[in-house]
Amino acid sequence: MTKLFPYLHRDISWLQFNYRVLQEAKDPSVPLLERIKFLAIYSSNLSEFFKVRVANHRNLVRAGKKTSKHLDFEPEKVLSQLLAMVKDQQLEFTKIYEQSIIPELEEKKIFIRQKDQLNKDQIEFIETYFKEQLQPFIQPIILLKKKVIPFLNDASIYLAFELIDKENGKVIYALMKIPSDETDRFVLLPPSNVDSREILLVDDIVRHCAKTVFPGFKIQGSFSIKLTRDGELYIDDEFSGNLITKVKKSLDKRKVGVASRLVFDREIPKKMLKYLMEVFDLHEYDLSPEGRQHNNSDFFSFPRFNLDNLQDQSLTPLPYYALENLKSVYTGIAVADHLIHVPYQSYESTIRFFEDAVNDDTITEIAVVQYRVAKKSRIMDALINAARQGKKVFVFIEIKARFDEEANLQWGEKLENEGIKVRYSIPGLKVHSKLALITQRDANGKKREYAYFSTGNFNENTARLYTDLCFFTSDPRLTSEARRLMNFLEKKQPIKDKFEHLGVGQYNLNDKIDDLINYEIKQAKQKKKAEIILKLNSIQDKKIIRKLYEASQAGVKIKMVVRGICSIVPGVKGVSENIEIISIIDRFLEHTRIYYFHHGGDKLTYMSSADWMVRNLRYRYETMIPIYDDQLKKTIREILELQLSDNVKARIISQNQTNEYKSVSTKKKNEIRSQRESYNYFKDKSEAELWI
């Protein structure tokens, strides 16, 4: 990072984001069981980070100087910094869990027991549980250095045992997989008191009963370990051969990928750790010390005991009457554009966009782009039912959506079996647009098209957890351009005409964004009002960051809400003084992408599928959608204002990277928690609709 071009490496910034998630786990204002959920989110995020990003850095380090000389960073230096940051965060994770979470659980009469804290009845219970539920899955492995090199399943928990042979006193090491994929991680014990709730991790049941598995040996110690494997799909040549076959083969290889880290109990003896490193051919930078237990993403399934007072207050998605009360949503979309904001508002209108087409004789065609799909999906069921009704259905499925490749392939095969036309990934690129198009023909053959754009996927599950905008329109300016993009995806039909309204990746998206920023720069230089407001998941593209620095230096006021990666550095004198950035982590995952430009008072407003990352702006098909309806533009601006005013869950992104909370003003003293206020905002709108 230089003064001329301050820039934070994307992975260092990502760890700062994940630390903001960890902050939620120690925030006393967050309900206790939700704090445990944030421990799970932090751990799940970190596991994926090691599978992909850290694995990539390790590969660069192994490749040596020949590769690193082509990079604008030093892989070994960045890897060292990442591992040091993770080590510090893991120490804080353990401190939060042991010194905050556990004591507070105990105050609520919820006890996570250790095996030496059990009474006679509980010991009898776990020994029976082990014999009946676990023992069939237990397969102990004796380690003999290079003679026996066991294969460890990716991200599975193992216990490493130090054993002493009772006959000759010889020390040997052994491994045993914890069968947490076959049973609950958290086992409810018979309570020792009437009003207590007691839990034992399945790890400790195995620890206690291991003596029956190793007869003739004394167990000197047992320590939890986990191996994380490289999760990237390495497809050597996407441009030749069958891409689907290559993805399937890569999925099989992922299960046996190169180890990207060994997670271990930091209390493990050094001699034992060295032995494991030799067995699995690991280096120092492959090591990741943690607490006594691993796979803390399992905290997602931590028992909740129906204790509503320890959980977030229920926020039932609000109905959007303007579409939901109609016999067909197309009746409403034909008259005006519509916008819903999930999860505050119900996702029902999106589902109805497809379901209403099934039995509507005037609907002849349905086309949709799928990126990440729910396992059980009313939307996909509607597509199948529409095809059975004789309608033309086309689905483009992106099979390179990381960690959803297998599920997407399965859906594709199911759709094809129903006679639906399916096309898969484009070699060298990802299709990330969130787009659907419905074609309607009346009795006279007159054609009308309805387009649906979103900042999020067609996924009923994430629509309850992620904040996203869903936009419905029959405006020919937008539907005609959506048709051009869909024809390219379906028929490989070249796009000859320029996109005038939509910004489309690989065509005009970068130029359109540049033009919008340049206009604000021009306005600022003429001493006119110049303002940009951006809401993104991530920003990392150096070219666009350089442009924003240029805008800041010209006097453009730039405000940003960035949830995750943020490589741009605000507040640097002479470079980015006019840039202010906050990040909001709360109960819902902030996923909405919004671009706002004052544009001489025109207040140009866009929603988009694209973050400002190199991958999004250079190597994906993305869409950027203009909002023309003045009322909808006003709604989006008010959403942005609520976010920018957040002084409860907003963290300040600054040069010193401390993730400080944006504090409440001592003068106003009013707390603004943007997600709660957004729900109230749409609640007021919903109630007002009832009176119309």
How far, in Å, CA of 477 to CA of 10, rounded?
A: 37
**466 beta partners:** 589
Cβ(516)–Cβ(594) under 8 Å? Answer: no
Q: DSSP letter at 660?
A: -
Q: Which position has the token pair 């029976």?
A: 128
**520 beta partners:** none
How far, in Å, CA of 630 to CA of 314, rounded?
A: 32
Q: Which position has the token pair 């000859």?
A: 496
How far, in Å, CA of 324 to CA of 349, rounded?
A: 6
Cβ(386)–Cβ(355) under 8 Å? Answer: no
Q: Up-side HSE of residue 302: CA atoms within 13 Å toward CB?
A: 26
589-590 and 466-473: which strand pairing? parallel
Question: ω into residue 343 within 30 of 0, thus cis?
Answer: yes
How far, in Å, CA of 121 to CA of 394, rounded?
A: 60
432 is catalytic: yes
Q: Which amino acid is at 95?
A: K
How far, in Å, CA of 243 to CA of 240, rounded?
A: 8
Q: DSSP letter at 501?
A: S
How far, CA to CA in Å, does 161 sit from each of 114, 130, 263, 289, 366? 18, 18, 15, 17, 58
Q: Which residues of 610-628 are buried (b: 16+ CB within 10 A; e: fewer)?
A: bbbbebbbeebbbbbbbbe
How far, in Å, CA of 60 to CA of 71, rounded?
A: 10
Q: What value, to the nearest 5°, has the Cα angle with vertex 537 and ends 532 and 540?
A: 80
How far, CA to CA in Å, does 218 sit from each of 19, 214, 270, 574? 41, 8, 20, 67
Cβ(223)–Cβ(159) under 8 Å? Answer: yes
Q: DSSP letter at 665?
A: P
How far, in Å, CA of 85 to CA of 48, rounded?
A: 16
Q: Which helix (H) or strand (E) holds 651?
A: strand 650-653
Q: Give 350-372 as a 3 state SS string.
A: HHHHHHHHHCCCCEEEEEEEECC
Strand order, beta sheet including 186-188: 110-112, 197-201, 186-188
How far, in Å, CA of 138 to CA of 16, rounded?
A: 39
Comparing CA positions, the residue from 209, 236, 139, 142 lying closest to residue 179 is 139
| SS3 category, 634 | helix
Q: How many CB atoms lie within 10 A of CB 541?
A: 22
How far, CA to CA in Å, does 619 sit from each of 289, 488, 614? 36, 16, 7
Comparing CA positions, the residue from 391, 400, 168, 158 lying closest to residue 279 is 158
Q: Which amino acid is at 524?
A: A
| SS3 category, 70 | coil
Q: Which of 341, 432, 591, 598 is catalytic?
A: 432
- Length of the chain in terms of residues written: 692
Q: Give 392-420 as a 3 state SS string.
A: EEEEEECCCCCCCHHHHHHHHHHHHHCCC
Give the active site residues. 432
